Chains A and B, each alone.
Chain A
Amino acid sequence: MHETSTDDTTDFGYERVRKEEKAGRVREVFDSVASRYDLMNDLMSGGMHRLWKRFTIELSGVRPGQTVLDIAGGTGDLAAKFSQRVGPDGHVILADINAAMLSVGRDRLIDKGALNNISVSQADAQFLPYADNSIDCITIAFGLRNVTDKALALRSMYRILKPGGRLLVLEFSKPTSPLLSQAYDAYSFSALPFMGKLITNDADSYRYLAESIRKHPDQETLLEMVEDAGFVDCRYHNMTGGIVAIHRGVKG
């Protein structure tokens, strides 16, 4: 590789772009897929994403009355589930940097009649606009890999969590077996953009997704990053052969 990466560039899939540019490029990707995002999720993961999320919710240990932030929450899958968990005395914030995703999410939550204890807010994971020590649990599902400065985002999450509060990062990771890894590469680099093309008429966005998955830190690296942000009791669970992993950290 002969890329001359300086400090002010960052990954955009396999390309390198200027740091200021990445957020805009990521936004374009999600703008273009927002309306059909849920269908794509089901088709691409064969429905598995629902099980990954189900286990994430269980690991959260969230109880009635608590406050939960789902950042990079997109169309609100997790927020809807948390809304039932925390009940009328609790509060769920569905936050995302992208207005198009949030508006699809808001419509879906209204359809489900789930809005009473949920608020929807546009926010960047790196600069969370919430008070210190105010949140019981933060989840970020398939979102961290899109964030320009992941360490900054993790520190920002740490800041707003209450002591004893929990962070859960659900993200694509590194398959544990080489065979699975190859099959998965073939799938994500050819089948995925192809399906993206058919459904949302946007193969490039899904190529970006495949590339960003490859560029995302593996299990151990992400675990270190979570620890570096100050979290304690950090651990991860592999799911579906390590295609995805849930990392958990607690604010001490």
Chain B
Amino acid sequence: MQHDPAIIAGVTLALETAINETISLSLGTREALAQKCGACIAIYCSSPEVSVYFFVNDSGTVSLQNYSEAEITVSLSGSWRDFQTVAAANDAAGALVNSNISVTGDTAALIEIQQIVSDMDIDWEAPLVASLGHVAGHQLANALRGFWRWRTDSHRRISRQVSEFIIEEGRLSPSKHEIDAFLSDVDDIVLKVDRLESRIKRLQRQLKPASEPS
């Protein structure tokens, strides 16, 4: 079945944002990934039929696409269920070998990138301490660390958050500032209409005696 490219693009954009957010919070991951700059991992999923290309940028972030003609470093093909099983396994590399997923291309690169990803050490502390000060920042970081562990354990995490990401992170909808400006324009127009209405009424009152002598 063919899916609507716009919806797939939305989910992909949300995923890209989530991944880059995570990478930026993890110490050393960007630097490690930047070493692999130019690499492209393609995931060809059958049922549902979706392709996702992961490109590693020179800044150590990743860009995701659903269509690409670029050279692919390594590709993985399988069904959604196969990918889900591997993603949920404790030992992803081991699970991959034993799965129905077929891997083509430079498998060494795949293993290196997988290593970087599994080494990701999410550092919530530095940005939080910077903005909140030591005590509060540290406590929040601890809480978030627990939350992160819980989140990584949950497969449903991505789908649950897709809509939030689309709206907030992907900046797919207008910002609060833009909406505020819009609403204040609406208020303005309402006021003007009110004023106009009362002016018309006043005019009508003034005109009535003149136009109704007959």
Contact = CB atoms under 8 A, between A and B. Distances in A.
A239 B5 contact: yes
A21 B68 CA distance: 42
B173 interface: yes
Interface string A175-214: 0000000000000000000000011000000000000000
Contacts of A237: 5
A58 B10 contact: no
Contacts of A63: 70
Contacts of A152: none
Q: Is the interface of A mostly helix, strand, loop or mixed?
A: helix
A237 B70 CA distance: 20
B77 interface: no
Interface in A34-80: 39, 42-43, 46-48, 50-52, 54-55, 58-59, 61, 63
B110 to A, nearest CB: 22
B212 interface: no
Nearest to A239: B6
B161 to A, nearest CB: 17
Contacts of B170: 50
B66 interface: yes
Interface stretch (B20-28, B85-93, B181-189): B181-189
Contacts of A48: 6
Contact of B69 (A52, A61, A244): A61
Given A54-B13, A198-B186, A198-B189, A42 B66 contact: no
A199 B185 contact: yes
B182 A55 contact: no
Nearest to B175: A42
A240 B69 contact: no
Residues of A in contact with B, size category: 20 to 34
Contact of B4 (A42, A46, A59, A241): A241
A238 B173 CA distance: 22
B9 A51 contact: yes
B182 A198 contact: yes
The residue in B5, B10, B185 that gathers the most chain A C-beta atoms within 10 A of its C-beta is B5
B140 to A, nearest CB: 31
A162 B181 CA distance: 45
B213 interface: no
B69 A55 contact: no
B174 interface: yes
Given A48-B6, A51-B172, A58 B67 contact: yes
Interface string B68-85: 111000000000000000
Given A47-B173, A58-B65, A239-B5, 16 more contacts: A39-B178, A39-B182, A47-B166, A47-B174, A51-B6, A51-B9, A51-B10, A51-B13, A52-B6, A61-B69, A63-B70, A198-B185, A198-B186, A199-B185, A237-B5, A241-B4
12 contacts: A39-B178, A42-B173, A47-B166, A47-B173, A48-B6, A51-B6, A55-B66, A55-B67, A58-B65, A198-B186, A198-B189, A240-B7
Interface of A: 39, 42-43, 46-48, 50-52, 54-55, 58-59, 61, 63, 198-199, 237-241, 244
